[in-house]
Structures are given as C-alpha cells and as structure tokens.
C-alpha cells in the first residue's frame, strides 16, 4: 500500500514538474496571440499564478490583453527587482527569460543575443526584433546600465498565436486576390471570419506604398505611441479645429495631408489622422475617393488574416457613403470615416483605434 502511494506521489510530482515548465524561457512567448478563454492561457495563468488583472508581482510578471469581444494576449512584461507601476511593486522575474536574456545583460550582450537594437540618445529604452517578436528593454535611466523591465510583443502583422518553430521571415510578395464588393454591399464579413481559426504566423507583405504606410502607422502607434514619427508642431486649418497638431514622417499615398494631434490638452495622448478629401459641400469627389480607399483596404486587410468588416450609416448624411470599419482583435481598428460639420464642410479621413500594448 505504501509503495502504491509512493509511486502515485512520484507520478504526481513528475506531471507537476512538466506542467510547471510548460511555458518557460522562449516557450512562454507562445501565449502571445492566445485567446484568454483558451486551454493554453488557463495553463499559463495557473503556472504563473496570475490574478484577475493578469499579473503576479511576487513573480515579476504581467500580461496585457486586448479589450474586445475576442480578448487576446498582446504583451508579456517581465520585471527586475523594485520595478513599480500603478502603486504595485514587483519582484524580479527569476525564471529563465526568453532568448536567454538576463537582467544583468549590458548593451553588448543584448545585441549579441537579439541583434541590433533601435533607440535614441536620452531615451530609456531600446527596441529589438527577433524571430517574429518585438522586444522592448526598458532601463532605469537614460544611461542604459540597469534594466527595469522587458516587454515582449508579437510583431505587427503576424496573425494567430505565436509559435517558436514558425517561419517568421517575410514571405515573398503575396498574390493579390480579387477586391471585395464595394461599400454598397453592406454584408459584414465578421461572422465568416469568426469561423476561421487564426493559424497563420507569417505577415503578408506587399510592395504597395499604401499598405506599407498603413502598417507603419499601426506599428508606430502600438510600439511608440507615435513618438517616433512625430515631427514639428504645425498650424493648419482642420475640420476638427484641433489646436495641438504636428507634422509626421509618414506619407499615405492619395491623402491630402496627415497629422498627429493632442486633444483636448497639449499633454493628451497623441492620435493620428489622414485626411483623404475635404470639400465645402456635397461633392462626387468624396464617393470617388471612398471607393478607391475602401477597395485598397479590403485588398490588403483580409478576413483570413483576422480582420472583420462592418458598415455604419452616417447620421449626418444617411444617403451618403457609410463609415467603414476594419477590426482586428490584436491590433484594433482602421476606420474610413465620413463626416459633415455644422458649417457644411465635408471630410473623408482615416482614423486608427489601436490596441496599445
């Protein structure tokens, strides 16, 4: 009897040991892109003892999830001793870090493990990219000598849960499919896309500058809160009468202009808008530009890659073009927006509602 109990205890300990190590080192990155309702996330959460806010300060770990009908894990943050945020003090993450990183690594060691990084003088962080993962190493000061915490996110454009053994190199230029029906067909693609599991792990790449510029906006917003594309303050009359506006280093083909703005205060979060068409009254140019941009968006941001489409009738002009929203649970939304102000000014623009990590 004692022998049987002893064997069962050994088996239990063995299973627990395997389970406890299931998401360690680089393997832990495979939780990125997982649904919070998945079995994988349940195992990860149990292994690290995460609370309702997806954190465990005693173990030095915090997760970030998207806030949508489908909630996906978008970032893992691992902390060194003494890191504090929102009144919570974290201990040092003492298990194996992804890519064999150590909190004791200096810049030379980090570059050897992760490749060249991107950072600015006077900044307290460096961004690295390796095997489909973006790694932000945050330091305790701008001298970059002691690491405060490290954040891991899946590269912009990768669909589905991250997999270590996936091919994360950019594929050759994809063959373009037929353009979806125009905005006059109001049928949403959301239901169709929801039935398809997101299993791709490679980003689709195109040579079209329109696609590349849109992805640059998304990446800048998600990674840098637009700080890396912000240029000089500019004074430009605009539909919204935004006061704190800035030029950018990004140009979207076919736009009139774009800008970053802070609203309502100069210290408010930066947001990006691309103005595609502006008229002083009803004008066929609005619908012409709408059809052109809608087709481009559908051409490059497909339901098979996690995007869903929906249309909203514009209350200011019920018979005009409809607001077109493309939504991705990992990235956020791109909206082709049409508005009219009380003075009769019409504007067609792109706005972005991003899932900041």
pLDDT band of 79, cuts 50, 70, 90: very high
Torsion of CA 150, 155, 160, 162, to 10 degrees: -50
Burial (0-12, 13-18, 19+ Cβ within 10 Å), 347:
buried
pLDDT in tens, 132-150: 898 999 998 888 889 999 9
pLDDT in tens, 27-70: 999 999 898 989 999 999 999 999 999 999 999 999 988 766 56
| Same domain, yes or no: 196 and 342 | yes
- Distance, in Å, from the CA atom of 156 to the CA atom of 225, rounded to the nearest integer, reads 14
pLDDT band of 199, cuts 50, 70, 90: very low
The single residue listed with the structure tokens 């125009």 is 182
Q: Which two tokens stand for residue 127?
A: 């961004």
Within-domain flag for 260: yes
Q: Is 271 helix (H, G, I), strand (E, B) or coil?
A: strand
| Same domain, yes or no: 136 and 213 | no
| Same domain, yes or no: 96 and 213 | no
What is the phi/psi pair of residue 108, to 5°? Answer: -65, -45
The single residue listed with the structure tokens 């067909």 is 185
Cβ atoms 25, 97 nearer than 8 A: yes
Q: What percent of the chain has pLDDT above 70?
A: 78
Which of 102-106, 248-252, 274-278, 329-333 shows the lowest per-residue confidence on average (mean pLDDT)?
329-333
Task: Please choose, from the candidates 7, 32, 80, 30, the residue with its C-alpha nearest in 3D space to the C-alpha of residue 330.
Answer: 32
Within-domain flag for 185: no
More confident residue, 238 or 290: 290
Within-domain flag for 164: no
| Same domain, yes or no: 26 and 146 | yes
pLDDT, residue 6, reads: 47
Cα distances from 219 to residues 32, 136, 162, 344, in angstroms, run 17, 13, 17, 34
Q: How many domains does the chain have?
A: 2
Count of CB atoms situated within 10 Å of the CB of 15: 10
| Same domain, yes or no: 100 and 43 | yes
pLDDT in tens, 294-342: 999 999 998 887 789 999 998 888 999 999 999 987 778 999 999 998 8
The single residue listed with the structure tokens 């194996």 is 96
Within-domain flag for 178: no
What is the phi/psi pair of residue 240, to 5°? Answer: -95, -5
From the centroid of its chain, how far is CA 275?
23
| Same domain, yes or no: 334 and 212 | yes
Task: Please determine, for residue 242, whether its predicted confidence score (pLDDT) is greater than 70.
Answer: yes
Task: Tell me 116's DSSP state.
Answer: -
| Same domain, yes or no: 129 and 244 | no
Q: What is the CA radius of gyration of the chain?
A: 23
pLDDT, residue 172, reads: 34
Within-domain flag for 167: no
| Same domain, yes or no: 81 and 137 | yes
| Same domain, yes or no: 139 and 252 | no
Cβ atoms 340, 334 nearer than 8 A: no
Domain that includes residue 27, residue range: 2-154
Within-domain flag for 348: yes
Cβ atoms 296, 308 nearer than 8 A: no
| Same domain, yes or no: 40 and 130 | yes
| Same domain, yes or no: 209 and 276 | yes
Within-domain flag for 171: no
pLDDT in tens, 207-229: 688 988 998 898 888 767 788 88
Q: How many residues in the chain?
A: 357
pLDDT, residue 22, reads: 84
What percent of the residues of the chain are helix, what percent strand, and what percent coil, each to the nearest 5?
25, 25, 50
Task: Please choose, from the candidates 273, 274, 278, 253, the residue with its C-alpha nearest in 3D space to the C-alpha of residue 261.
Answer: 273
| Same domain, yes or no: 211 and 339 | yes
């Amino acid at each position: 009897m004692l022998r049987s109990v002893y064997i069962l205890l050994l088996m239990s300990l063995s299973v627990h040991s395997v389970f406890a190590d299931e998401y360690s080192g680089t393997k832990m990155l495979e939780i990125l892109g997982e649904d919070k309702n998945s079995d994988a996330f349940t195992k990860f959460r149990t292994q690290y003892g995460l609370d309702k806010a997806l954190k465990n300060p005693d173990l030095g770990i915090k997760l970030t999830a998207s806030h949508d009908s489908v909630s996906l894990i978008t970032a893992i943050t691992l902390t060194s001793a003494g890191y504090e945020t929102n009144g919570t003090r974290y201990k040092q993450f003492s298990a194996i870090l992804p890519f064999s990183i150590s909190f004791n690594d200096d810049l030379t060691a980090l570059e050897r493990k992760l490749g060249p990084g991107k950072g600015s003088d006077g900044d307290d962080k460096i961004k690295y990219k390796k095997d489909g993962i973006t790694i932000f190493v945050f330091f305790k000061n701008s001298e970059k000598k002691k690491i405060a915490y490290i954040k891991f996110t899946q590269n912009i454009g990768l669909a589905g849960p991250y997999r270590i053994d996936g091919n994360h190199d950019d594929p050759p230029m994809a063959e373009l499919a037929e353009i979806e029906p125009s905005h006059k067909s109001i049928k949403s693609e959301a239901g169709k896309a929801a039935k398809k599991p997101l299993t791709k792990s490679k980003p689709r790449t195109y040579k079209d500058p329109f696609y590349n510029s849109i992805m640059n906006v998304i990446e800048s917003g998600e990674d840098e809160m637009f700080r890396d594309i912000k240029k000089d303050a500019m004074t430009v009359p605009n539909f919204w009468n935004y006061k704190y506006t800035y030029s950018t280093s990004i140009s979207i083909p076919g736009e009139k202009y774009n800008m970053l703005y802070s609203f309502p205060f100069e210290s408010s979060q930066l947001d990006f808008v691309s103005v595609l068409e502006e008229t002083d009254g009803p004008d066929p140019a609005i619908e012409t530009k709408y059809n052109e941009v809608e087709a481009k968006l559908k051409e490059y941001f497909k339901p098979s890659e996690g995007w869903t489409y929906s249309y909203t009738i514009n209350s200011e002009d019920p018979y005009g073009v409809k607001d077109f929203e493309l939504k991705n649970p990992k990235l956020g939304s791109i909206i082709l927006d049409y508005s009219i102000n009380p003075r009769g000014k019409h504007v067609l623009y792109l706005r972005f509602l991003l899932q900041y990590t």
